[in-house]
A and B are shown apart, each in its own frame.
Chain A
Amino acid sequence: MTLAARDPRAPFDLPAPLVEPRIERIARYDWLLAATALALGLVGAVLVWAATRDVERAAGNNPNGYLYRHLINLGIAAVLAFLASRLDAKMLRRSGPFAYLAGVFGLLLVLAVGVTINGAHAWISLGGGFEIQPSEFMKLGLVIGLAVLFVQRSRDRDPGPPATSDVLLALGLVTIPLALIMLQPDLGSAMVVAVAAFGVLVSAGVRARWTIGLLIAGVAGAVLAVRLGLLQSYQLARFSAFTNPHHDPQGVAYNINQAHIAIANGGMFGTGLFNGPQTNGGYVPEQRTDFIFSVLGEEFGFVGGVVVIALFGLLCWRGIVIARRADRTGHLVAIGIVCWFAFQAFQNIGMNLGLMPVTGIPLPFVSYGGSSMFAQGLAVGVLFAIRRASLLPR
């Protein structure tokens, strides 16, 4: 760890040097993390391009339209990441309640004026073909909000495990956005939010009886939801298609089957870029978003798939490294973000590979989609900020 410079004019330690050496400022960014995220985003750009160019050309549109828009999203996400990286530890702590409340406000707004896409009432139309999906931002808001809650509540207290009241308060904070997302209903986002929150809870040192109890309650709740018909019919159809992909080959299972065909035919090295017949033919619905991994599988094969999975591993590893060095708030936030990225990537790729049921969530950085890209950019920025804060003298 670098020692903090001491200002000769001051009789006390400063939280930060007045003038940082330029070299050090740059060194405080986790460049490996940045490169990993950027690599994923660029891989995504190529895959989105491959998934859309033939179909768009056939429809008489610009075949490169989605490529450009993905790159623009990526650029905006980079700017957001840079802005978020400028937060210091205090600002991060203070932003907690705001990030959380902003997320909840967005979800409420969706219920009021949202539009429905693919069965979920999850988008706010901004006009001109732009839509925003508040649940993406809620993931970050909730992680920061929860982390700040635990740290603030335990600040003046015996530093044991969080008190029951803290846990209940935290559960309340989780329940509100979770309920709002389930109202849309967006099962995938709800699962990611729940997992990220669970990661924060576990890392906050909540007693094992709580964490294990919550796990059991979660499973029981899911079973109950199916039994009592709380899920929408399209969600149930996706689940039953997951358990039996040949049940309804023209309906929901069609998606799974076509993605499976695409990936399986990729083999070891894939068909090569722009050469995937399944992709070029537009056989896989929702390919540029939820099923982007099937493009990778078909055109770049097992090798390409492993590279992308490895990139996600790298991303998570950088997050974990940052979490380990961070202060308590930063630690919890970083763990929450890692859990979010890890689970969302796993859920998305798992669904492409028939491991997980179909829930409409994008593959982080890779799938086409502004809201998720921006939220992930902010999250990476927050990771930068945590790392930078951890490198400063406490």
Chain B
Amino acid sequence: MVRRSALRRREVGARRFSIIVVLVVSLVLTLVVRLYWVQVADPHKPKQTAGLTHPGHIVVPAPRGSIVDSTGHVLVDNTTVQVLTIDKEAISVLPDHGAAVLRRVAVLLHTTAAKLAAEITPCSVKVPAPCWTGEPYQPVPVASHLPMSTVLAVGENRESFPGVAIRTETLPHYPYGSLAGQILGYTAQVTAADQKRHPKLADPDTIGVSGLEEQYDDALRGVDGVQTKNLNPQGYAESNGGSVAPKQGDTLVTSINFKLQRLAEQSLAQQIADSRKAGMPATGGAVVAMDPQTGRVLAVASYPDYNPQMFVGGISQKNYAALTAPTADDPLLSRAVAGAYAPGSTFKLITSSSLVTHHEISMTGIYPCPGSVTIDGRVKTNYDSEVLGPVDLENALGYSCDTFFYAPEANEYYADEARIANHEQPHEWLQHMASNYGVMRKPGIDLPASEQAAGSYADRETRMARWKANKKTYCAQAQHGYPSIKDPKQRAYLTQLASENCTDGWRYRAGDNADMAIGQGETTMSPLQLAIAYSALVNGGRIWSPKLGWAIVNGKGKVVRTIHPKVHNTVPVSAKVFDYIANSLNFGRGWAVSGAFAYLQSPYRNRIGGKTGTAEVEGHKDTSWLATWGPIYHTKKGHHVRARFVLVGMVEQAGTGATAAGPMLKRIWDGLLGADGKKPIIPGERPSDRLPAIKATR
């Protein structure tokens, strides 16, 4: 029994043993057969992929295109700086892995070899900043703006500095510093968000982020060059491949006139200084000059300003903090385009257009100009409660009577209310006229939309919408009072106001319409918008979408694109009315025109006209405005009034239009039309209509 089972076990053991042997043999055979198939028999063997090296690209950023004025004067160009680069690969093959080279470079750059070594080490999970964020095969820039001595030290001792190179980089350069700074804008290193929008942007590229640099970025950016290196699979450069030179961006020719721009900025700065000397805060100001016949903008000045050069190569934290500090008064903002201010009496152009066109007053009629009128129980006065007695529109405009315009605009309001009571639509003629002149609409100048103010005015619809949006807050404030405010008088006043807003905040009142008539209340415009409106006065009613850009010229000096301002709208006002208003405000009328005060001695005063504005701002000194046009000429057909230039000036918190904006613009008119024996700064006293010749750059 035992024997038999032992025998059986041996049989089983032998069988099992042979199973193992067979298995092992079959494994070996399987491998050999498969190996034969893969290496010898397979007719579709995979090919070795892409050789042994693959290309690595180093982007060479293209120099940005220049921006020039209408006479070919360069406003932004490029300057070159010397940049010292270290090629990590080249020095790592040295016997000491480049330690000696780094020491020598450190001495030149007044830094330490350890810092340099950290800077040129490619970043990784294990390598924290400072480290090199670019490709590992790329030479790392470690210093720029090198002094000539450093450049020579490296250049003359090549054998001591293997792997070290001096590279020339181009950077934007602003030869006139802050001149037209806000309009030109600035550039910055691309961000990940930029690259998402423009997939072609490479890391070292810059992009315009403000002003014309942003608006015409596509044209100015150029085409990056590429230097190719043949990399082995580990990413180390084995040899140089081909290279494609970068193509500089196209040149942007603007309609800015350099001389006029400089004069405007100087005059603005002087006025700020003068007004401050006179005891006014004069926190800022703006000047806009445009060609009313073409819609081209000739000068845009804004105070305070900044130098875009600060942004080249990245602005320092300190500089940026200084520019954006509350005490800096927004130097980055172009007040001329992005600022919205109550236009004051300059708005009477629009009010007059509306009243005469809709026959609410006539050009020959005589209407009262008392010291004050009472509308809805509120007393509204003239400036200094001046009394002119009964006057016509010509003198109401010239002397700038406010009460003259209150009555007809209050009447328009009441007529509209009657229409509403009759279930008819209100006319809101004044608002429509304002809209026709471009108020409450971005002017469409070729600057980023975020840098243009649309202006505003009040009407029934916007008032209702605002009330609906804020009703809850008003009512809550009315209910709870203002417990945080200590002064019981002010608390009572604010609570009363909230209570009125809670119940009646939707109501558009006669007083609102009267306020709008003289450019007050919720009426605001940018200096540029006012320039566009006054251009319409002397160009037959055309409202321009004005342009700063005139043409794009490529590297061969050839115009690739001409930029044309477009007429956005034609104001529905007759030529007769325009001529009447323009003649009423001609400075030749002397004392009868408030804007003419600064020009009484000017030889050219008959040739220009203008309207002052003195806008009251709650809690601040008055905004000083002057909108002017000239030199006046007349059309052959119909003898209508036309002008070559429109100049608008504005000074914040500087007093009346005649005391600040008046003298400010006079200095510019003196330059434009020639005074004190000087020749006009623009030959022929008219904007150039010919593009300057741009030299080919390639």
Q: Which residues of A contact B (CB under 8 A)?
A: 55, 58-60, 158-161, 199, 202-203, 205, 257, 260-261, 263-268, 277-278, 280-283, 297, 301-302, 305-306, 309-310, 312-313, 316, 320, 323-324, 335, 338-339, 342-343, 345-346, 349-350, 353-355
Contacts and interface: CB of A to CB of B under 8 A. Distances in A.
Contacts of A345: 27
Interface in B16-66: 16-17, 19-21, 23-25, 27-28, 30-32, 34-36, 38-40, 42, 45-49, 52
Nearest to B46: A261
Contacts of A160: 5, 8-9
B20 A199 contact: yes
A158 B5 contact: yes
Contacts of A283: 49, 233
Nearest to A310: B28
Contact of B16 (A202, A265, A305, A353): A202
A260 B37 CA distance: 12
Tell me which of B13, B39, B40 has the highest count of chain A C-beta atoms within 10 A of its own C-beta: B39
A352 to B, nearest CB: 9
Nearest to A305: B35
B16 A205 contact: yes
A264 B39 contact: yes
Contacts of A282: 232-234
5 nearest A-B residue pairs (beta carbon): A264-B45, A302-B39, A346-B27, A281-B233, A313-B28
B30 A346 contact: yes
B160 interface: no
A297 B36 CA distance: 11
Interface of B: 2, 5-6, 8-9, 12-13, 16-17, 19-21, 23-25, 27-28, 30-32, 34-36, 38-40, 42, 45-49, 52, 92-93, 97, 232-234, 236
A161 B46 contact: no
A353 B2 contact: no
A265 B45 contact: yes
A261 B17 contact: no
B46 A306 contact: no
A353 B35 contact: yes
B39 A309 contact: no
Given A158-B2, A306-B35, A264 B27 contact: no
A336 to B, nearest CB: 10
Contact of A301 (B9, B39, B97): B39
B152 to A, nearest CB: 32
Nearest to A261: B46
A95 to B, nearest CB: 23
B20 A306 contact: no
Given A264-B42, A306-B32, A60 B92 contact: yes
Contact of B39 (A59, A268, A335, A349): A268
Contacts of A257: 46
A277 B52 contact: yes
Contact of A339 (B12, B20, B32): B20
Contact of A260 (B25, B46, B234): B46
Contacts of B23: 342
A301 to B, nearest CB: 6
Contact of B32 (A203, A205, A280, A309): A309
Contacts of B16: 202-203, 205
B20 A338 contact: yes
B9 A297 contact: no
Nearest to B28: A313
A305 B31 CA distance: 9
A12 B30 CA distance: 52
B31 A353 contact: yes
Contact of B48 (A277, A335, A346, A350): A277
Tell me which of B6, B28, B93, B97 has the highest count of chain A C-beta atoms within 10 A of its own C-beta: B28
A203 B5 contact: no
Nearest to B44: A264
Contacts of B19: 202
30 contacts: A58-B234, A58-B236, A60-B92, A161-B9, A203-B16, A205-B12, A205-B13, A261-B49, A263-B35, A264-B39, A265-B46, A265-B48, A268-B39, A280-B52, A281-B232, A282-B233, A297-B35, A297-B39, A305-B35, A305-B39, A309-B32, A320-B20, A342-B24, A343-B27, A345-B27, A349-B31, A350-B30, A353-B31, A355-B30, A355-B34
Contacts of B38: 260, 263-264, 297, 353-354
B28 to A, nearest CB: 5
A48 to B, nearest CB: 18
A278 B48 contact: yes
A202 B14 CA distance: 11
A345 B13 CA distance: 25
A268 B40 contact: yes
Contacts of A316: 24, 28
B44 to A, nearest CB: 9
Given A203-B17, A302-B39, A324-B17, A346 B233 contact: no
A161 to B, nearest CB: 7
Contacts of A349: 31, 35
Contacts of B8: 160
Nearest to B54: A281
Given A313-B25, A320-B21, 12 more contacts: A158-B5, A159-B2, A205-B9, A264-B38, A265-B45, A306-B35, A316-B24, A316-B28, A320-B24, A338-B24, A345-B27, A353-B31
Nearest to B36: A302
Contact of A263 (B24, B39, B92): B39
A353 B28 contact: no
A309 B45 contact: no
A312 to B, nearest CB: 7
A350 B31 contact: yes
B238 to A, nearest CB: 10
Given A158-B5, A161-B12, A203 B20 contact: yes
B234 to A, nearest CB: 5
A305 B234 CA distance: 28
Contacts of B31: 309, 346, 349-350, 353, 355
Given A203-B17, A205-B9, A309 B48 contact: no
Contacts of A205: 9, 12-13, 16
Nearest to A355: B34
A288 to B, nearest CB: 15
Contact of B35 (A55, A309, A342): A309
Contacts of A338: 20, 24
A301 B36 CA distance: 10
Contacts of A261: 46-49
A306 B236 CA distance: 36
A159 to B, nearest CB: 6
A371 B6 CA distance: 41
B322 to A, nearest CB: 46
A320 B27 CA distance: 15
Contacts of A265: 45-46, 48
A263 B39 CA distance: 6
Contacts of B12: 161, 205
Nearest to B42: A264
Contacts of B5: 158-160
Contacts of B234: 55, 58-59, 282
A283 B47 CA distance: 13
A19 to B, nearest CB: 35
A302 B32 CA distance: 9
A261 B236 CA distance: 23
B98 to A, nearest CB: 11
Contacts of B34: 350, 353, 355
Contacts of B97: 60
B29 to A, nearest CB: 9
A260 B38 CA distance: 8
Contacts of B236: 58
Contacts of A343: 27
A164 B32 CA distance: 39
Nearest to A350: B31
Contacts of A309: 28, 31-32, 35
